[in-house]
Amino acid sequence: MMPTTRRRRARGPGRWARLWAVLLSTVIALPLVAMAASPAAAQEPWWCPTSGDQGTGYYFEAGEPGYGPATIFEVNSNDGSMYPVGSSQDPVDAVGYNPHDGFFYGVVNGSSDIVRIDRYGNFSYMGGVPFQRAIAGDVDEFGHYWVLSSDGQWAEFDLTTGYAYQVRSGYTPPPPNGRLPGDWTYMRSGPYGPGLYGVSDPYGGGNAHLVYFNTQAPGSFQDLGPVSNLPYLPFPPDPIDHRATYTDGYYLYTHSYSNGITYRIDVFGNYATELPNGAGPRVVGDGAQCGVGGGWIGKGTLNLVKKVEGRNLPDDQFRLNVWSPNTGNVGELVTSGGESHFETGPMPIHGGQDYVIDEWMDGTWQWPQDAGYDTRADCFDPFGNPVNVWGGTGNWTVQIPPMDGDFTCVVTNTAVGADAIDLTKTPDPPVVHRAGDTVDYEFTVRNDGQTALHDIRVEDPLSGTPVPCPVPDGGLLPGQTTTCGFPYTVTAEDVARGYITNNATAIGTSNRDGGEVRDDADARVEVEVQSPALSLDKTANPTTVAAAGEEVTYSYRVVNEGNTVLENVHIDETYFSGTGGKTGIECDDVTLQPAQATTCRSTYTVSQEDIDRGVAIVNAASAVANDPDGTEVRHDDTETVDVTQTPSLDLAKSVEPTTVSNAGEEVRYTFDFVNSGNTTLYDVELVEDDFTGAGAPGPLECEPGWDGTLAPGARMRCTATYVTRQEDIDRGGFDNAAHLTSRTADGDPVDSGSAEAHVDAERRPGVSLEKWADPSDREYFHEGQEITYTYVIRNTGNTSLTGVGVVETEFTGSGGPPQINCPEQTGPLPPNGTVTCYATYTLTQADIDRNEVRNTAHAVGTGPGGQGLESEDAQVILTGEYASGLSLRKSVEPATVNAVGDEVTYSFEVTNTGETTLTGLRILENRFTGSDGPLQIECPAAPLPHGESATCTATYRVTQADLDAGGVFNTATAVADRPDGEDVGSEPDDAELGVTTNASLTLAKTAEPAEVTEAGQEVVYRYTLTNTGNVTLHAPSVTDTEFSGSGEPPRVTCPAETLPPSEEMTCTGRYIVTEADLAAGKITNTAVGAANNGERVTSPPDDATVTTRPAAEDGLALVKKGKHSKPKGRHGRGVIRWKFTVTNTGGTTLTNVVVNDPVAGEVRCPKQTLEPGESMTCEAGPYKVTEDDVRLGHVKNTAVATGRNPAGDEVTSPDATTVVEVPVCDKEHPCKDKERAVV
């Protein structure tokens, strides 16, 4: 029998070890299995270890009738090894697996009984086959069971009805000496489509063939050919081998009864592979695949049922999701309200697959077990049998057997959350003193369980009645609390007893099962006799001060040392030595319970007088309160704050600016006097220690009215100014040092440290040179002109300079550098002082030729520290004006042209009208309208001296576009280079090339056809326009000036908008002939062509005439004859030649007359035109007679003649057919010429 838990696909030897362990337990249990057939309802389907679309093979042990239990083997399709997995009651044959219900079906050996075999090997009788000795069987994808007998009888049974209902049967005997397949297997994807495949020896030669039985159109077996590498070994006395087959969906597996070996057959390639492990001969009698082998997947439904057995919380809901690792989501279920039963209804699923059920608490994604629920899942097949389910709470995997039907899974949640309640009881106050006092009892109830609680109340003997506690509409949820209570009045008995004690019980109702949940709590209130007492502890923070403005915080800790309530608690100050103001005293509490403490506070701001006095600040106070009887209770305490004196004086000195650059700059000294101690200072004065400036600082200026007194932290700012002298600049700066003196109120001296300040003098010696020439205008730049140069030297620094002068660094004049004269210097040159020097120079011719004289110089001097100075270079450049110029005269020869290709020569005469020689002569075209431009102009390369001329030339050939444009216009400018490289250009000049034009047009007109015979026939007029002039014509058109036709005149269209010279174009017009035209005998038409070239151009007129007459009938006849000629020898088939007589039987001339004969081939005619009544003879052949012609006894072919009438219509003759007999020629029957023609 099969194990009851699903086994996964093999992953190494461990799978088979587990399987063998199951087998041992199965074999041990076999004696306990009932051998008698069990009722159908008690049977359980098989569970097959399938994977996806692949089936698992099983072999059934061979045995004689009555043999007893027969072993069932699972086959390893990788190596052919077999593993026993159970046994059947008796040996069976023709076994097949029904994927619609998960059972094997077979025929009991030695009988005709069809039985259903369950997972324990038990039989249920399902019907019978109409023959004996069934050898082959299998179930197709529709649940139909196909059985074959050893003598070729077959039957089809429908198993979906709940029993074996016979649908049809037939007989397919084996061929002579042939053998039927020992088993067959249904394959949905075999090479010939769905059907039964098996192995047989159809011809009795000991060769294994693959055979096919079509279940869609059952009849006979189809031989699919021999299978390579597959032996067929009959085992006497039974000649049938290969009695067990199965499929994994692609391969066909067959077991040889004779040698015990399993072979894997590639049914698409007819090739077998031997698997290494076999069971030995005469062991296996039949085979079948279990599961989805053959490409079938079971179809069914799953109804997911949810049962809720109690809820911990009213709003607890559950969310379930069903999904498949193969096909994805199937469906989901979400509970709602307070219902306890929910169903999804049937959801489509596939047999033979795993499905996963996930469950969470809806809205929280919490596992149900974490929310206080026991959860289980139970699944059942369509027969009510359990289906294997594994997994934990909230996640299960369901193994759906490979069968059809409606499955059910029930997920049950049972509320098991713990009920717990916690009560806390609090009295207020915890101590009372007399009868009549009120104690408020407060109850805090907390839900410490996992279920909601309702109807919460507290029972307390002091309250008399239960105290209700408020809860939300959904109850008190886990972790939530509620508060309730009642007041109680103290009695004399309570005072006499000295305490009040009681016990209370909190009660709630569980949402899970309605039971009560309880918790107790007690509380004790003490009764005490009054004994008032009070204590005071006074502190100061800080305890030492050193500066006015410091804040001292006084804290008064008052403690009720008695056992009565004290009221009107306050502090009375009895002594305070401070000179400043003190804030009022505030207490945190003015009523104190026994042992209760409160803190009172006040602050004091230290005055400068306190610091200057230098003595401690003393404060004495009393704590005061009233007991319940109004009696005053007091307690005293004193606190002292020490005063520390630290006199100090600071001087901060600064100067602005810290750097000076020029004599006369004012420097401001700032002195900050700071009392950095904590006592007042008197008679503060500034004492100068040192000053190195060439002059003396001004008086010290402080704030008006200052008397020389500085309070602690006070600051006094005083200033003094100093005016810088030139000596200070030359020395590089000056220094200043000073300190402060003062005294305290006690007369003790207090001095500051020395403060210093330094001012830098920024020495920036500098010299500049300014230079110019007179005259400097261009108009004076000529030979012999005297130039005066002026040099102004300036001290641009802030220090004095000595040894100033001018140094020439560059002079390009050809006459040598000029002599510079400077005045005698009597002392240093002060800042911004100047010295002026002079020099003269006369221009030479060489200077004029170069057009430039360049003079560069700089000033020199010495600074205060002996530093040598040079100014930036100063440069003067004298230049003249170039007097350069060009003129241009342009001409063209000849001045007029009249034909395309005429050549003209352009001449450009250029004259140098300036004073300098020019080079690089060239002509720039400003405008050239010729279509083949620009011009390629050539100029002389030699320089052009002053006053001389040169001529540049270019040639040009006239284009049609130039003629059409009416001429060519040209404008140009002459350009050359001056000696300095600058361009010199002339004024533009132009030349115009004229053209002589001749616009003319001719027209030639034709009509086609020239003769018409029917009304409605179309006449095409063609108008050929030719441009006989030398200019392009535009918008060509044709106008019919005279037309005799009675219908609408032709509308003439032309193909283009332009017509170049010497070219022509054809315009067309169409006209439909009328009956009146036929009666008139002709149609005349005269037309004129026209175009324009700025002016209208017309052609001479031209005409065309079309002859009209009534149509004559067309006719064509064909007569054909064929003749067979015997071969040259006495033997052979000979040839055939044909003659065709073609006659024009109509009244019109026919052209393009030809004869077409597809058999005879090319037909040769003497001409192609036949006049009315005229005939001609055409010939074809020789044609070589073929064997097919001889076998047929004759050659038959058909010909037709065709031609065209004057209107161009095709004229066809009737068909002409000949039948030429072809005799057989041999020695006894010599060939004779025979012919027969049918016209």
CATH number at residue 512: 2.60.40.10
User: Quick check: is 7 in a domain?
Assistant: no
Better-scored residue on pLDDT, 235 or 854: 854
* DSSP assigned state of 39: P
Is residue 3 scored above 80 in pLDDT?
no
Q: What are phi and psi of 18, to 5 degrees?
A: -60, -45
Check if the beta carbon of residue 737 is closer than 8 Å to that of residue 754. yes
Q: What are the tens digits of pLDDT across the range 653-690?
A: 999 999 998 888 999 999 999 999 988 889 999 998 88
Check if the beta carbon of residue 494 is closer than 8 Å to that of residue 502. no
Residue 236: per-residue pLDDT: 65
When the pLDDT of each residue in the chain is averaged and rounded to a whole number, the result is 86
User: Quick check: is 1217 in a domain?
Assistant: yes
Domain boundary among 973, 995, 1017: 995
User: Quick check: is 3 in a domain?
Assistant: no
User: Quick check: is 296 in a domain?
Assistant: no
**Residue 281 pLDDT class (50, 70, 90 cuts):** confident
867 and 901 share a domain?
no
**Could you tell me which residues come within 8 angstroms of residue 40 by beta carbon, excluding any fewer than 6 positions away?**
116, 124, 162
951 and 1059 share a domain?
no
Strands 516-527 and 431-432: what pairing?
A: parallel
User: Quick check: is 606 in a domain?
Assistant: yes
**Residue 162 pLDDT class (50, 70, 90 cuts):** confident
Q: What are the tens digits of pLDDT across the range 603-618?
A: 999 988 888 888 899 9
User: Quick check: is 448 in a domain?
Assistant: yes
User: Quick check: is 308 in a domain?
Assistant: no
DSSP symbols for 1089-1153 = EEEESSSEEEPPPEEEEEEE-PPPPP-EEEEEEEEEE--SSSSB--EEEEEEEEEE-SSS-BEEE
Is residue 1079 scored above 90 in pLDDT?
no
Q: Which of 736-750, 941-955, 1128-1142 has the lowest mean pLDDT?
A: 1128-1142
What value does the mean pLDDT take over residues 625-630? 86
Q: What are the tens digits of pLDDT across the range 982-1021?
A: 888 989 989 888 888 888 889 899 999 988 888 888 999 9
For residue 696, give the nearest of 665, 722, 729 by alpha carbon. 722
DSSP symbols for 960-989 = HHHHHHTEEEEEEEEEEE-TTS-EEEPPPE
Residue 4: per-residue pLDDT: 29
Residue 75: per-residue pLDDT: 93
What value does the mean pLDDT take over residues 1130-1152? 86
First to last CA, the chain: 91
38 and 169 share a domain?
yes
What value does the mean pLDDT take over residues 334-338? 90
Check if the beta carbon of residue 1140 is closer than 8 Å to that of residue 1178. yes
**Residue 40 pLDDT class (50, 70, 90 cuts):** very low
Distances (CA, A) of 848 to 170, 812, 814, 1181: 135, 12, 10, 111
1053 and 1178 share a domain?
no
Is residue 1233 scored above 60 in pLDDT?
no
221 and 348 share a domain?
no
Is residue 144 scored above 90 in pLDDT?
yes
For residue 375, give the nearest of 348, 335, 346 by alpha carbon. 335
Q: How far apart are CA 593 and CA 429, in angstroms?
A: 10
232 and 323 share a domain?
no
Better-scored residue on pLDDT, 1059 or 528: 1059
**Residue 15 pLDDT class (50, 70, 90 cuts):** very low
What value does the mean pLDDT take over residues 1194-1214? 91
For residue 607, give the nearest of 747, 742, 712 by alpha carbon. 712
Q: What are the tens digits of pLDDT across the range 728-758?
A: 887 888 999 999 999 988 788 999 999 999 9
> What's the domain count of the chain?
9
Residue 203: per-residue pLDDT: 87
Residue 19: per-residue pLDDT: 31
* DSSP assigned state of 479: T
Residue 953: per-residue pLDDT: 94
**Residue 11 pLDDT class (50, 70, 90 cuts):** very low
**Residue 581 pLDDT class (50, 70, 90 cuts):** confident
**Residue 201 pLDDT class (50, 70, 90 cuts):** very high
Burial (Cβ within 10 Å: 0-12, 13-18, ≥19) of residue 1033 = buried
Better-scored residue on pLDDT, 1211 or 781: 1211
990 and 1093 share a domain?
no
Domain boundary among 713, 741, 761: 761
% the chain with pLDDT above 90: 46
825 and 738 share a domain?
no
818 and 852 share a domain?
yes
72 and 214 share a domain?
yes
User: Quick check: is 111 in a domain?
Assistant: yes
Domain boundary among 1108, 1127, 1155: 1108
- Domain containing residue 152: 13-290
Q: How far apart are CA 487 and CA 375, in angstroms?
A: 48
Encoded amino acid at 790, one letter: T
Better-scored residue on pLDDT, 7 or 478: 478
Is residue 117 scored above 90 in pLDDT?
yes
Residue 38: per-residue pLDDT: 35
522 and 553 share a domain?
no
Residue 845: per-residue pLDDT: 65
Q: Which residues of 783-821 are buried (b: 16+ CB within 10 A; e: fewer)?
A: eeeebebebbbbbbbbbbbeebebebeebebeeebbeee
**Residue 42 pLDDT class (50, 70, 90 cuts):** low
Is residue 49 scored above 70 in pLDDT?
no
Q: What are the tens digits of pLDDT across the range 631-641?
A: 899 999 999 99
Residue 115: per-residue pLDDT: 96
What value does the mean pLDDT take over residues 552-566? 90
1011 and 1156 share a domain?
no
CATH number at residue 867: 2.60.40.1530
Tokens 């602690």 identify what position? Answer: 712
Is residue 557 scored above 90 in pLDDT?
yes
Q: How far apart are CA 206 and CA 203, in angstroms?
A: 8
What value does the mean pLDDT take over residues 910-933? 86
Neighbours of 574 (CB within 10 A): 11
In this prediction the pTM is 0.35
Is residue 296 scored above 60 in pLDDT?
no
Is residue 915 scored above 80 in pLDDT?
no
Residue 396: per-residue pLDDT: 93
